[in-house]
C-alpha cells in the first residue's frame, strides 16, 4: 500500500511539474514525450505596424514630421490652453474634455495622417487609443505635449 501511495505521489508531482506528457497517455493518442519531437507552438499573429501608432514621438521628431509629411495637427486642449500658445501648424482644435470629442474624432478622415498634442501628453495618449479604436490608419502624439515642445525650444504662436 505504501509503495502504491509513493508511486501515485511521484506521478502526480511529475505531472504537476510538467516533467511528463501525460496528455497522450490519458487520451490514448500516443504522442512522443520527447521534447525534441514535439510540435512547435503556433506562430504568433504579426503585430500591427509600429509606425502607424507609436506611443508618442519626441518634439523634434514631431517638428520634422510636420515639415515632411504635412499631417493634420490637432490641439486637444481647452480653448483657454490653446489661447495661451499653440503649434503654428495646428489646423484643428478639439477639447478632449468636451462630451462630443469622440464623435468629432469619428467624423475625421481615417486615412489622413494626424499629429495630436495636449499640455503634457496624457490626454493625447488617451486620444490615440480612441483613434486606434475608431480605425485611424496613422496618428501620432507629441511626447510630453506642448510643454515638451516649448522645452525643446520649438516655436509656438501666442
Q: Rounded to 5 degrees, what are φ and ψ at 116?
A: -115, 155
The catalytic residue among 105, 118, 139, 148 is: 118
Are 97 and 75 contacting, i.e. CB atoms less than 8 angstroms apart?
no
Are 158 and 87 contacting, i.e. CB atoms less than 8 angstroms apart?
no
Instruction: Clarify whether 29 is annotated catalytic.
Output: no
Burial of 134 (0-12, 13-18, 19+ CB in 10 A): middle
Are 20 and 14 contacting, i.e. CB atoms less than 8 angstroms apart?
yes
Q: Rounded to 5 degrees, what are φ and ψ at 101?
A: -55, -50
- Hey, CA dihedral for 54, 58, 60, 62, is it positive or negative? positive
The set of catalytic residues is 118
Amino acid at each position: 500500500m505504501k509503495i502504491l501511495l509513493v508511486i501515485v505521489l511521484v506521478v502526480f508531482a511529475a505531472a504537476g511539474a510538467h516533467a511528463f506528457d501525460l496528455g497522450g497517455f490519458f487520451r490514448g493518442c500516443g504522442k512522443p514525450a520527447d521534447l525534441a519531437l514535439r510540435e512547435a507552438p503556433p506562430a504568433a499573429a504579426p503585430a500591427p505596424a509600429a509606425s502607424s501608432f507609436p506611443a508618442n514621438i519626441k518634439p523634434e521628431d514631431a517638428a520634422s514630421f510636420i515639415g515632411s509629411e504635412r499631417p493634420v495637427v490637432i490641439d486637444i486642449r481647452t480653448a483657454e490652453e490653446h489661447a495661451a500658445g499653440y503649434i503654428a501648424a495646428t489646423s484643428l482644435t478639439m477639447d478632449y474634455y468636451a462630451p462630443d470629442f469622440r464623435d468629432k474624432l469619428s467624423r475625421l478622415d481615417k486615412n489622413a495622417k494626424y499629429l495630436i498634442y495636449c499640455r503634457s501628453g496624457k490626454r493625447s495618449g488617451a486620444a490615440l487609443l480612441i483613434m486606434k479604436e475608431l480605425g485611424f490608419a496613422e496618428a501620432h502624439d507629441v511626447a510630453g505635449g506642448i510643454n515638451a515642445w516649448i522645452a525643446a525650444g520649438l516655436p509656438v504662436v501666442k
